[in-house]
Structure 1
Amino acid sequence: MDEFVKAELEDAGVNVDETLRRFMNNEALMIKFLKKFVDDENMKQLRTLIADKKYQEVLPVAHTLKGVCGNLGFVKLYELFSRMCQDCRSEQYENLDDMFAQTEEDYAKVVEAIKKI
């Protein structure tokens, strides 16, 4: 992987070395899955749920994104989705809008970094 791209991914909160290890050092396979993330529809669905204030429906989508982000080494996003899941489980929805705004920022950084691969 190009060092510039690796640095951009790391700046966006991606643990590239750990993710590559998860993919058994198969860089091509890792890149394939990173690029699939860009086309994943879960973030779009979550955006709609938050905008429509359907907070009771957020948990399964946030949980899916948490798992994907954890597997792909998106440390910042994983932490945000983890907190979102915790809040939804305890039915504490008052911070979801602000948390989602931060998630959108970090998500955009990750997607932009991936698009440079």
Structure 2
Amino acid sequence: MLSMESLKEYGVKTNEGLARCCNMEAFYFKMITASVNDANFDKLGKALEAKDLKEAFEAAHALKGVAGNLALDPLYDAICEIVEPLRAGEDRDYTEAYKKVTDARDRLIAII
């Protein structure tokens, strides 16, 4: 169940994320729940599969912003590993890096 404690156990800096949501806990929880359903997760996966690095970067960058604003550090850290190489246009195998992103997302979904 989603709670401040479960988020802390996941690795979220809850004080930072909550502050960015005007200290409204219900709103913060709503934003976190919405973030795991962000269409950019699917967009990122499809773009990586198609080797569309520009589209993949745009999706990853958007996810990075959401995760960062909500202080979802485990998800944010995983996304950061993929964003910079994509920004540089590195044509490489992103399978492992994308799995880290989806695993972090899945762990967050499990506590929601």
The TM-score, its normalising length taken from structure 1, stands at 0.81
Q: Which of 1, 7, 12 does residue 10 from structure 2 map onto?
A: 12
Pair 1:107 & 2:105 matched: yes
What percentage of residue pairs aligned between the two structures are identical? 25
Deviations 1:66-92 (A, max 9, x none): 000001111122122223121012222
Q: Structure 1 residue 95: deviation in Å?
A: 4.5
**4+ long deviations beyond 6 Å:** none
Change (3 A) 1:60 1:10: same
Alignment of 1:1-117 (within 5 A): 5-113=3-111, 115=112
Question: In the aligned structure 2, how far is the partner of 1:93 from the partner of 1:107?
Answer: 24
Q: Provide the aligned length of Structure 1 versus Structure 2.
A: 112
Root mean square deviation of aligned Cα: 2.0
In the alignment, residue 36 of structure 2 is paired with which amino acid? Answer: V
The TM-score, its normalising length taken from structure 2, stands at 0.84
* Gaps in structure 2 of 5+ consecutive residues: none
